[in-house]
Amino acid sequence: MNVGQWQRTPVPAQEICQTQIGYGKGCPWTCGYGRPIEYRQEDYPVATAFIDSHFYIYDVNPPNDLGLMKLYIAAFEKVMTNLDDIIA
């Protein structure tokens, strides 16, 4: 079972927000609706904590029947039950 992280940083800390390139005529940062703003990752502690504590399973695409979901549950239970052996 392959797992990974979808996001590694909160959206405001990602390149598009950091560089404020935007789209079209610079919106939303430099167009008529823009205003000075600074995005700092430390301003998003909950999003950062969520990212740091979660992962997703690759290639879980519809249709996902109940049998497949039960196999995933069994796999997670097996890993969590044997963490000491896995980490050793």
Going from N- to C-terminal start, the domains of the chain cover 3-87
Quote the pLDDT of residue 78: 95
Tell me the mean pLDDT in the region 65-79: 91
Residue-wise DSSP of 49-88: HHHHH--EETT--S---HHHHHHHHHHHHHHHHTHHHHH-
Tell me the mean pLDDT in the region 26-50: 86
CA–CA gap between residue 86 and residue 77 (Å, rounded):
13
- Computed over every residue of the chain, the mean pLDDT equals 86
Quote the pLDDT of residue 5: 83
User: How many H helices and E strands in the chain?
Assistant: 4, 2
CA–CA gap between residue 16 and residue 27 (Å, rounded):
11
Tell me the mean pLDDT in the region 15-33: 81
CA–CA gap between residue 49 and residue 82 (Å, rounded):
25
Check whether 26 has a pLDDT greater than 90.
Answer: no
